[in-house]
């Protein structure tokens, strides 16, 4: 049985998800209105499943009709594929996964295959909450941007004080992928630096906007000219949720599969032309309580391929040891703080939290009808993009488009840990106690 408790969370250890290598205490062995999602999903084994391979949706959770099949050995998938409809194949990059519809007889036959690790129903869950602190918010640079470059606590008593953005360097050499509710591409805050990548879910593959807002807010923290850490950032939007912030677990996997394929396509084209390979950073502002592995397995594979995945610690005031993918030793896991340099009481914590970043009352771009749309939100969702863009800046500072191959994500994670402000946060019940920091460019 698996328990899925989401915050901007998507789960996929099986049928759902709420949406690199070790640093610190991670061991690689093999107030405010908070953006909380308090839904609890219990995924029982199917009582009708003779070999207990089928993972079913919880009562009341819609099932799309698709199934996620995990193969133990992708090289020996023929025995499984023979039971499926013609032209059904494993995912292009995630070779151990097959996403498809199944008839009862197909399901029965696949359960009996020894090369199948599990079969999970594709379930819908509430994954993204945009509970706002205010409808609009300040027009100033967010306090979080100012906190990144300060060696001491901000001398401010109001989240809307007039903070200034310092030049922290450019992330322009990197490609930053935001898997979320989409991004409002024509928002003037972005100056055309956000491009559409792909869309998965009920809005169809050609939906290029954001009909929920969460993704635009996250992208704005990364690179909007009014509120972002780096107004030169290049962002690729991958939509994985519907207009209510819900998603299907399979769509999250399809989004990650697309990202990996796109990274390879861009890098291959650059190599043919003798150009440097662009580092890639993937922002997953989501977390989920689960004992499953698929998303974590995917993050491990992406990291080993040279791509950094940054994930939210979550908003349940819990140890992340049971939160996926936050507990992964391969992900860069981010908790969130207040302007007083305190762990926000809703932020998750634990030995697997690599770094904390500002996440309380963060103003950023929004999706309304006006060109100046903005909104103030709180949650680990909004701390995660701070770490994402800082990671990209570090990558570009120490790999400034000069060498053909970027250094590995482990090096970026270590640099973030080494440059963080240690043991200054209050309310952190475990180690490490690190606050995200980057020195301004002189």
pLDDT range class, residue 331, cuts 50, 70, 90: very high
Cα dihedral 229/230/231/235 (nearest 10): -110
pTM metric for this prediction: 0.87
Confidence of residue 294 (pLDDT cuts 50, 70, 90): confident
Dump pLDDT digits (tens) for 341-383: 999 999 999 999 999 999 999 999 999 877 778 999 999 999 9
Indicate the angle between helix axes 409-419 and 380-398, nearest 10 degrees.
110
Average pLDDT over residues 92-103: 93
> Any idea where the domains of the chain sit in the sequence?
53-124, 131-435
pLDDT at residue 60, as a whole number: 75
By C-alpha distance, which of 106, 5, 7 is closest to 378?
Answer: 7
- Residue 203 and residue 106: Cα distance in Å, rounded? 28
282 phi, psi to nearest 5 deg? -115, 120
Beta bridge pairs of residue 118? 70
Give the range among 129-133, 274-278, 308-312, 373-377 with minimum mean pLDDT: 129-133
* Domains 53-124 and 131-435 agree in fold: no
- Catalytic residues, by residue number, are 180, 214, 381
Confidence grade of residue 403 (pLDDT, cut at 50, 70, 90): low
For residue 99, what pLDDT is reported? Answer: 94
- The answer to whether 198 and 255 are in contact (CB under 8 A) is yes
Q: How many CB atoms lie within 10 A of CB 404?
A: 11
Burial class (CB in 10 A: 0-12, 13-18, 19+), 85: exposed
Q: Are strands 175-180 and 235-239 parallel, antiparallel or unpaired?
A: parallel
Q: What is the pLDDT of residues 145-157, one digit of tens each?
A: 999 999 999 987 7
Fold adopted by 53-124: Alpha-Beta Plaits (3.30.70)
Distance, CA of 12 to chain centre? 13
What mean pLDDT do residues 247-251 have? 85
Q: How far is CA 244 from CA 167, 182, 254, 394, 411, in A?
A: 36, 12, 19, 35, 37
DSSP 55: E
Q: How far apart are CA 281 and CA 389, in angstroms?
A: 8
pLDDT of residue 165: 79
CB atoms within 10 A of CB 140: 18
Q: Domain 131-435: what homologous superfamily?
A: Peptidase S8/S53 domain (3.40.50.200)
Residue 342 makes CB contacts below 8 A (sequence gap 6+) with: 425, 426, 427
């Amino acid at each position: 049985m698996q328990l899925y408790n989401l915050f901007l969370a998507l789960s996929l250890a099986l049928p759902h998800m709420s949406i690199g290598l070790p640093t610190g205490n991670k061991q690689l062995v093999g107030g405010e209105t908070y953006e909380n999602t308090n839904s609890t999903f219990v995924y029982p084994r199917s009582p009708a499943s003779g070999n207990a391979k089928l993972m079913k949706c919880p009562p009341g959770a819609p099932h799309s009709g698709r199934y996620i099949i995990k193969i133990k050995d992708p090289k020996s998938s023929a025995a499984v594929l023979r039971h499926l409809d013609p032209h059904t194949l494993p995912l292009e990059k995630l070779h151990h996964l097959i996403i498809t519809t199944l008839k009862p007889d197909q399901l029965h036959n696949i359960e009996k295959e020894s090369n199948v690790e599990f079969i999970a129903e594709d379930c819908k869950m509430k994954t993204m909450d945009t509970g706002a602190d205010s409808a609009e918010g300040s027009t100033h640079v967010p306090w979080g941007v100012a906190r990144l470059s300060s060696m001491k606590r901000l001398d401010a008593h109001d989240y809307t004080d007039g903070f200034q953005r310092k030049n922290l360097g450019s992330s322009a050499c990197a490609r930053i992928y935001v898997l979320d509710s989409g991004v409002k591409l024509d928002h003037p805050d972005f100056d055309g630096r956000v491009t559409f990548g792909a869309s998965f879910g009920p809005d169809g593959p050609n939906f290029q906007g954001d009909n929920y807002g969460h993704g635009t807010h996250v992208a704005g923290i990364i690179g909007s000219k009014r509120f972002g850490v780096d107004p030169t950032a290049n962002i690729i939007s991958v939509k994985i949720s519907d207009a209510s912030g819900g998603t299907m677990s399979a769509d999250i996997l399809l989004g990650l599969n697309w990202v990996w394929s796109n990274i390879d396509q861009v890098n291959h084209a650059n190599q043919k032309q003798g150009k440097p390979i662009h580092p890639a950073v993937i922002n997953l502002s989501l977390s989920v309580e689960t004992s499953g592995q698929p998303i974590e397995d995917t993050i491990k594979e992406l990291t080993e391929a040279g791509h950094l995945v940054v994930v939210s610690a979550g908003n349940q005031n819990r140890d992340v040891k049971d939160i996926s993918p936050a507990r992964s030793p391969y992900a860069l896991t981010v908790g969130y703080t207040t302007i007083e340099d305190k762990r926000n009481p809703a932020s998750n914590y634990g030995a697997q939290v690599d770094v904390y970043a500002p996440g309380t009352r963060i103003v950023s771009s929004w999706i309304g009808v006006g060109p100046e749309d903005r909104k103030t939100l709180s949650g680990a969702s909004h701390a995660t993009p701070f770490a994402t863009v800082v990671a990209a800046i570090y990558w570009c500072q120490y790999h400034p488009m000069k060498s053909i191959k970027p250094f590995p994500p482990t090096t970026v994670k270590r640099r973030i840990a080494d440059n963080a402000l240690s043991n200054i946060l209050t309310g952190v019940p475990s180690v490490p106690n690190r606050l995200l920091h980057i020195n301004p460019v002189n």
